[in-house]
Chains A and B, each alone.
Chain A
Amino acid sequence: MKVGIVIFPGTNCDMDTYHALKIVGLKPVYLWHKEHDLKDVDLVILPGGFSYGDYLRAGAIARFSPIMREVVDFANKGGYVLGICNGFQILLEAGLLPGAMLPNITNSFICKEVYLEVLNNNNFFLRRYSKGEIIKMPIAHKEGRYYISQKELEELKENNQIVLKYFGENPNGSIESIAGIINKRGNVMGMMPHPERAVELFLGSQSGINLFLSFLDEE
């Protein structure tokens, strides 16, 4: 599978994501925010960081980048898109996923390892995990409190769109402990935790590796 990593001004997890993909044997390409070319990739990753400094609101400015027009088209045609942390925030701002992010309930940045429960593995991104599996991954964000209206929340639940929940402590106050969601069609996923920081044991956890392994072509 050909994977593209978008670089917005202020993105800072692009190289980490590249490194994680390299570990599973993929050779991703970088996509530049000013361009309109997705370089024929099969999957677009919007990595973490502080696009435009997170000024105004996380993701609010990046979503107007030229490349985002192509990403939206690509997603609408069924292309795979994964947003991690700031990438998730951008997907929300761009309307590719429902809801919004609010500042953490602690009123501060939080960097720590958290536990997640895989609620739905019946999709492209999480198919290598089992349903109910508990995994460990770091979070590092200031605006990670997921919010959505009650009505839309019901919809998310009905369609099994909540794919990852914080297990145990809900670090940032997200509604229903939501850590990751997917769109109805199952091709656009966003998550606040950083799987790319959990691919080597000596970094604390390897539970992110299965996500990246799922991008390998099936034999």
Chain B
Amino acid sequence: MGVFGLREEEIKHAIKVLGREPNDLEWSVISVIWSEHCSYKHSRKYLKEFLTKAEWVEQGPGENAGIINLGDGYRIVFKIESHNHPSAVEPFQGAATGVGGIVRDILALGARPIALLDSLRFGPLNKGRNKYLFEGVVGGISFYGNCIGVPVVGGEIVFEECYSSNPLVNVMCIGLLTPDQKSYRGRAEGEGNLLLLVGAKTGRDGLQGASFASEKLDEEVHKKRPSVQVGDPFLGKLLIEACLEAASLDGIIGIQDLGAAGLVSALSESARRGKSGVELILDNVPQREENMSAEEILLSESQERMLLVVRPEKIDKVIEVFRKWDLEASIIGKVISKERFVVYFKGEKIVDLPTELLVEGSLIFDPPYTPYEVPSISSDLYNSIKEEHIANFVEVLVEDLLIKESIYRKYDYSVQTNTILPPGLGDSAVLRIKGTNKGIAITTDGNGRYCYLDPRKGAIYSVAEACRNILCVGGRPLGITDGLNFGDPSDPKVFYQFREVVKGINLASRVLEIPVVSGNVSFYNGQGENTIYPTPIIGMVGILEDINYLITPGFKKPGNLVYLIGDLSWLSLGGSRFIKDIFNKVVGDVPWVDLIWERKLKLFWEEIRKEKGILLSAHDVSEGGLLATFLEMAFWGNRGVRVDLPDDKIEYLVGEGSGIVVEVEREGEREFLERLGKYALKAIKIGEVTDNEFVISPYIKTTLSELFKRR
């Protein structure tokens, strides 16, 4: 194959650093590992800015996943990953292998995968291939996740024109390390240690997957697409069990998954991290197909494979574990002290490259960027809002709940028996940690509309929203994994979006003191007119030091008081679901968000959640405004609400912005207000929980039973 996808300057750079012209195979190796997907050449510089440390962070970015400490020896491992391009071509397998891939990143740290979340974006279901893509992706996630017995406990679904034909499929996986478990790193070190390739045989699947994910998805690519990778969840499950069993033995130095760019990236990256080199005997790689060339074996992206670095004296014991699970386990080479990536095939040395050149040696690109203007909400539009639009919007929101339900019913969310707050019932999923009183809260949040209208504010908003979502269920936020989805970085507008989004995430994460411990970047999603909205997905994990801190969003008891923490005047129609769904426009200023306020809210909440019985339910204001918040709290609690808005400003009903709605008992009201006062937070009393009555005056007067007839 030789050189592919590299620019003139990169080719010159490689030759200069190496001091010679690489051979054909070496060019292939350099080309895949310098692809955007593997080298992060457009993003590396910016990602370095993130806050990545805190007292409770055990591992930040740079490894296969991040680790945070929950105390008492329990640690949580997590990362998000996109599989957008493969899912656009073959949605079922694309999504399935996406799940398999992120699960193995978690496994590489020696942790048992305990939960998955899927953040999805599609074009409208009634257009083109979107329904096919949607059903395929959900089917693929369900197929893989259910089979390996890792519950899908949450996620998101958004439909928007810009994702037509270029869906976003981001999957986050969470793993657990118990006190008796060692954590591992993707590291090859110690001269003479052996490289053990385990799991599936290597076939010709997914050749060039990494570079494919680094290209625009045009018609051409559709035709010359690489051979599709097929997931085998059955083998994936065996690999999880076998790796965990092996990880409990002595003598394993490092564990690394095989993802994009297969053996090339797994070996060179772990060698680089271990400040060592590797010598690979390609003939020893178990092959599924006949007559595979060196290049095919090296670059194959066959699924369900892992690399273990093992001390020679322990190798037999480790291999035995994989035999027990009927998996391949072959010694394919060894660690050497020279920091080089060396490959032998049929007795000949065919690759000999410095690992530094491969892993950190690519050129860094910092392309030009330009800000752009977006339209505001015209007064014509504003004045054309009518009563019937509200009724239609209620329909939309109820329909939304049903679509979400139709998705998570296809996922096994209760396996592993830890899911205390299952999908569809809260702002975050909550899992208990067996053997402790602890729980964790997990969420993914992203708002492409906001980020398109104002990338920096949109990103800040997404982090703040994720934080509120963790708080709402009674958690304390501990860490972020960010999935950054963008268009073509050589488009100055796109690069502007990228820079601003990273700045926004960074700012919010610093003010809120929630470090970024892992993440993923996916460029080249759509192009020109069809470029996607900048869509950062914030995956966040928080701790419930005691699962009794759990707060659920459903209204509890008629007669209880309903407060909005925040201010009605913050709610805005800019970029809102309402304007989008009713007028099909994405316009206006995105809602105001004040990080200092969010920080105070966080501090207030981290304290009050520990007092049993003050906050009886809580739910943040997000898409769909207070109307959606009330509908959901009613739907989930099977109780109604009577709300009196002080004014008939439409923003109050369907405008979006910061804020949390809470339910407090009359007896707890004083205490609640005092504590709010302590943190100088504002709140207004806006209503009362009812039995069946659902009233938001002056707009809506109906009943629960009427609203949810279709349930």
Q: Once bound together, how far apart are the Cα atoms of A145 and B414, in whole Å? A: 20
- Which one of A15, A53, A110, A194 contacts B234 once the chains associate, using CB atoms below 8 Å? A53
Do residues A197 and B234 form an inter-chain contact, with CB atoms below 8 A? no
Which residue from chain A places its CB closest to the CB of B234 in the assembled complex?
A53
Q: Which residue of B lies closest to A113 (CB)?
A: B414
Which among A15, A110, A194, A203 is the interface contact of B409 at CB below 8 angstroms?
A110
Instruction: Tell me whether A111 and B233 are in contact (CB under 8 A).
Output: no
For the complex, is A64 an interface residue (Cβ under 8 Å from B)? no
Residues of A within 8 A of B417 (CB): 16, 19-20, 196-197, 199-200, 203
| Residue of B413, B415, B416, B422 contacting most chain A CB atoms (<10 Å) | B415
| Chain B residues near A15 (CB-CB < 8 A) | 416
B419 x A203 contact (CB < 8 A): yes
**Residues B416 and A9 in contact, CB atoms below 8 Å apart:** no
Q: Does residue A54 face the partner (Cβ distance < 8 Å to B)?
A: yes
- Residues of A within 8 Å of B422, CB to CB, are 204
Query: Which chain B residues in 528-554 approach chain A with CB under 8 Å?
Result: 547, 550
Whether B232 is near chain A, meaning CB under 8 Å from some CB there, is yes
The answer to whether A50 touches B238 (Cβ under 8 A) is no
- A10 interface contact, C-beta 8 A: yes
Assess whether A13 is interfacial by the CB under 8 Å rule.
Answer: yes
Cβ–Cβ contact A53 & B147, under 8 A: yes
Decide if A109 touches B234 in the complex (CB within 8 Å).
Answer: no
Chain B stretch 488-536: residues in CB contact (< 8 A) with chain A: none
**A109 near B232 (CB under 8 angstroms)?**
no
Chain A nearest CB from B416 CB (Å) reads 6
- The answer, yes or no, to whether B412 is at the interface (CB within 8 Å) is yes
- Which residues of A in the span 37-55 have a Cβ within 8 Å of any Cβ on B? 48-50, 52-55
List chain A residues, Cβ under 8 A from B434: 19
CB of B410 within 8 A of CB of A111, answer yes
Given contacts A53-B233, A53-B234, A197-B417, contact A111 B412 (CB under 8 A): yes
Chain B interface residue count, CB cutoff 8 Å, equals 31
Q: How far is the CA of A142 from the CA of B413 in the complex (A)?
A: 14
Interface of A is mostly: mixed
Q: By the criterion CB–CB under 8 Å, are A12 and B237 in contact?
A: yes
Contact B148 A108 (CB under 8 A): no
Q: If A9-B326, A10-B234 touch, does A140 touch B416 (CB 8 Å cutoff)?
A: no
Considering only CB atoms, which chain B residue lies closest to A199 in the complex?
B417
Partner of B414, one of A52, A53, A111: A111
With A111-B408, A111-B414: A13-B142 Cβ-Cβ less than 8 Å? no
Contact status B146-A197, CB under 8 Å: no
Residue of A nearest to B152 (CB): A111
Q: Which residue of B lies closest to A52 (CB)?
A: B234
Q: Which residue of B lies closest to A7 (CB)?
A: B241
A174 → chain B closest CB, angstroms: 17
With contact pairs A9-B234, A138-B414, A196-B417 given, residues A111 and B547 touching in the complex (Cβ less than 8 Å)? no
Interface: B420 (CB within 8 A): yes
Given A9-B326, A50-B233, A111-B408, check contact A197 B414 (CB 8 Å). yes
Q: Which of chain A's residues have a CB closer than 8 A to the CB of B232?
A: 53
Whether A9 lies near B411 (C-beta < 8 A) is no
Cβ-defined contact, B326 with A140, below 8 A: no
Most buried by A among B142, B149, B422, B432: B149
- Give chain B interface residues in 271-296, CB to chain A under 8 Å: none
List residues 176-211 of chain A with CB under 8 A from any CB of chain B: 194, 196-197, 199-200, 202-204
B679 in the interface (beta carbon within 8 A): no
Let me know if B147 and A54 touch, CB within 8 A: yes
Who on chain A is nearest to B422 by CB?
A204
How many whole Å from A158's CB to the nearest CB in chain B? 35
Is A112 interfacial (CB 8 A cutoff)?
Answer: yes
In the complex, chain B residues whose CB is within 8 Å of the CB of A200: 417
Least CB distance from B155 to A in Å reads 14
B408 pairs with A16, CB closer than 8 A: no
Chain A: which residue is nearest B327 at the CB level? Answer: A9
Provide the residues of chain A in CB contact with B414, threshold 8 Å: 111, 138, 140, 194, 197, 203-204
Name B420's contact: one of A49, A50, A194, A202 (CB within 8 Å).
A202
A112 to B414, CA, bound (A): 9
Is B708 engaged at the interface, CB distance under 8 Å to the other chain?
A: no
Q: Could you tell me the distance between the alpha carbons of A188 and B235 in the complex, rounded to whole angstroms?
A: 30
Q: Name B411's contact: one of A48, A109, A194, A197 (CB within 8 Å).
A: A109
Q: Which residue of A lies closest to B435 (CB)?
A: A19
Most B Cβ at <10 Å: residue of A12, A13, A55, A196: A12
Residues of B within 8 A of A12 (CB): 147-149, 237, 415
Q: Known interface pairs A16-B417, A140-B414, A202-B420. Does A49 touch B149 (Cβ–Cβ under 8 Å)?
A: yes
Does B325 reach chain A (CB closer than 8 Å)?
yes
Determine the distance from Cα of A19 to Cα of B408 in the docked complex, in whole angstroms. Answer: 25
* Bound-state Cα–Cα, A95 to B343, Å: 53
| Contacting pair B409 A50 (CB below 8 A) | no
Within 8 Å CB of A19, what residues of B? 417, 434
For A54, what are the chain B residues with a Cβ–Cβ distance below 8 Å? 147
Binary contact track A93-124/B, C-beta < 8 Å → 1, others 0 = 00000000000000011111000000000000
Q: Tell me the minimal C-beta distance from A90 to chain B in angstroms.
A: 15
Distance (Å) between the CB of B548 and the closest chain A CB?
9
Contacts of B326 in A (CB 8 A): 9
Chain B residues near A197 (CB, 8 Å)? 414-415, 417
Asked whether A140 and B412 contact (CB < 8 A) given A54-B147, A196-B417, the answer is yes
Q: Closest residue to A16 on the B side, CB-wise?
A: B417
**A57 shortest CB reach to chain B, Å:** 14
User: Contacting A50 at CB < 8 Å: which of B234, B410, B411?
Assistant: B234
Residues of chain B lying within 8 A (CB to CB) of residue A112:
409
Q: Contact at B146–A140, with CB atoms within 8 Å? A: yes
A31 to B413 Cα, complex, angstroms: 26
CB neighbours of A110 from chain B (8 A): 409-410
7 tightest CB-CB pairs across the interface, nearest first? A12-B149, A53-B234, A50-B147, A140-B412, A16-B417, A109-B410, A138-B414
Q: A12-B147, A109-B409 are in contact. List 14 more A-B contacts (CB 8 A).
A: A9-B238, A10-B238, A13-B149, A16-B415, A16-B417, A53-B234, A53-B235, A53-B237, A109-B412, A111-B409, A140-B414, A142-B146, A197-B415, A202-B547
A-B contact pairs, 7 of them (CB 8 A): A12-B148, A50-B146, A50-B233, A50-B234, A109-B412, A138-B414, A140-B146
